[in-house]
Amino acid sequence: MQTDSSFTFVLFGGTGDLSMRKILPALYEAHRAGGMLADSGKIVAVARHIEDRGEYLQWVNEHVKPHVSKNGLDETAWASFLARIEFAKIDLGNPDDFVLLRDAIKDLPGIRVFYLATGPSLFVPICHALASVGLNANSRIVLEKPLGYDLKSSNAINDAVGEIFAEEQIYRIDHYLGKEPVQNLLALRFGNVLFEPMWRREWVESIQITIAEELGVEARGDFYDNTGALRDMVQNHLLQLLSIVAMEPPHSMDSDSVRDEKLRVLRALKPIDPRDIGKVAVRGQYHSGVIRGTAVPAYATEAGVKPDSATETFVALKVEIENWRWAGVPFFLRTGKRLADRVAEIVVNFRAVPHSALGASALRAGANRLVIRLQPNETIRLYCLAKQPGEGMNLASVHLDLAFDQFFREGQMEAYQLLLLDVINGRLALFVRRDEQEAAWRWVEPILDEWKTSTKPPKPYASGTWGPAAASAMLAQHGTCWLEEEN
């Protein structure tokens, strides 16, 4: 992916954790690859507690290097990457400082990209300050999650930002959409006649989407205790993955064609009746336990967390889509912290054959399945039944690895690298449009409202397990189980 698009990439929150772990490493990898970033492109980091460019480059050397280049750092490429970086000491709470920013970038070339790697409370003030000095023209703005606390606050942010930037200038980033297996899912479905005829209720028994973490809230207790897993993971990442899995074929891969089809899925989600939330939603909270031999504390004892907190660290949902393709097919969504493993995957369980002359194993739903692993290793596997060697017709599960990385010489891009290149080059397909975001908030709000007023605490689960037993029971009612339980 080569580009001649010149750019000035302004990074707000230039010393923050996200900038150090994800954004600057992704830009470095694009720079090192050669041809992905225009030679004239510049990165302007904005921070308050760094005095000058020299001090900032020292900070980058110390905090970014550990997160780049799994195969080793290229010192020559690193030196030339640092040469791209400029610095502006700006107090984001002082609109007058944005005159300094304007002056610092006025002679820099190309499209301006403003990346807001800050807390959402700063999104609107930053946008107003940019507009006050005329920096909202010929520009793009990237908004990190969380974008609001509920539908009302999300709309307030979008309304304010939308007064300053047009919708086609706004890039609401969800890094899961930049993962190669997610895009390969689109290629599998829409580029191969083999899969598309089977991608429907007649052949699919159920679909599972899991994002599991081994880590707890770490140093984010204050933030997380006011957010919870439903806001932090379901409203954005999980519903975006669901919309990709379930969408109809777009007429092209341009940005609005793809996002129109995702929106149709979100609008077709069966509304949650508050009276049924106990049947289709499980919320849990981790207690103390052991993960990989190390004892870990309960959520309620984490720093920044209220001792009597009812914030959920685990969510499992049964979701239905009310359209012809998916009517009657349950989608099971799950996310949690302090679980048994770090994994993100999509599991498509196909129906059993209607009649088998080969024995009972061929009649098991899920004997044929497609597993799209997003992390930690990005793979796609197709499971089917085959005869075991030897006497008799004994069947065993085997898999075909769709190891696309073995067929291409160039390595896979990290999600942030691909998405940042899309911003620079003006490609919006993998970013969330405002109406998608509103539809997602509208669907989760009844669950949020019910849990906010509920007197029932989250179901406890021991750290290092796969969450509350109720999440497994919910699937058992439909004659199925989570993938790791079957294995």
Active site residue ranges: 237
Tell me how far apart the alpha carbons of residues 167 and 347 are, in angstroms, rounded to a whole number: 33
Tell whether residue 145 is among the known ligand binding residues. Answer: yes
HSE-CB for 122 with a 13 A CA cutoff: 17
Q: By C-alpha distance, which of 315, 309, 332 is closest to 468? A: 315
Please answer whether residues 107 and 100 qualify as being in contact, where contact means their C-beta atoms are separated by less than 8 angstroms. Answer: no
Contact (Cβ atoms closer than 8 angstroms) between residue 12 and residue 116: yes
Residues facing 181 on adjacent strands: none
Helix (H, G, I), strand (E, B) or coil at 11: strand
179 is in an annotated binding site: yes
290 backbone dihedrals φ, ψ, rounded to 5°: -130, 130
Question: At residue 465, what are phi and psi to the nearest 5 degrees?
Answer: -110, -175
Rounded Cα distance between 439 and 363, Å, is 38
The answer to whether 92 is a known ligand-binding residue is yes
Task: Give the whole-angstrom CA distance, residue 280 versus residue 319.
Answer: 7
CA angle 339, 343, 346 (to 5 degrees): 120
To the question of whether residue 103 is assigned a binding role by annotation, the answer is no
Does the annotation place 213 within a ligand binding site? yes
Question: Which residues, listed in sequence order, are joined to residue 42 by a DSSP beta bridge?
Answer: 8
Residue 4, CA distances (Å) to 35, 39, 415, 425, 429 in order: 8, 8, 21, 9, 20
Whether residue 232 is annotated as binding a ligand: the answer is: yes
Looking at residue 21, its amino acid is: R
Residue position matching structure tokens 């520009």: 139
How many whole angstroms separate alpha carbon 29 and alpha carbon 283?
A: 39
List all residues 6 or more positions away from 226 whose beta carbon is below 8 Å from its beta carbon.
149, 311
- CA pair distance 237, 34, nearest whole angstrom: 31
3-class DSSP state of 479? coil
Q: What is the DSSP code string of 29-79?
A: HHHHHSSSS-TT-EEEEEESS--SHHHHHHHHHHHTGGGS-TT---HHHHH
- Is 57 annotated in some ligand binding site? no
Secondary structure in 3-state letters for 210-277? EEECCCCCCCCHHHHHCCHHHHHHHHHHHHHHHHHHHCCCCCCCCHHHHHHHHHHHHHHECCCCHHHH
Beta bridge partners of 372: 346, 380
Annotated binding site: 48, 91-92, 145, 175, 179, 213, 232, 337
Annotated binding site for substrate: 175, 179, 213, 232, 337
Annotated binding site for NADP(+): 48, 91-92, 145
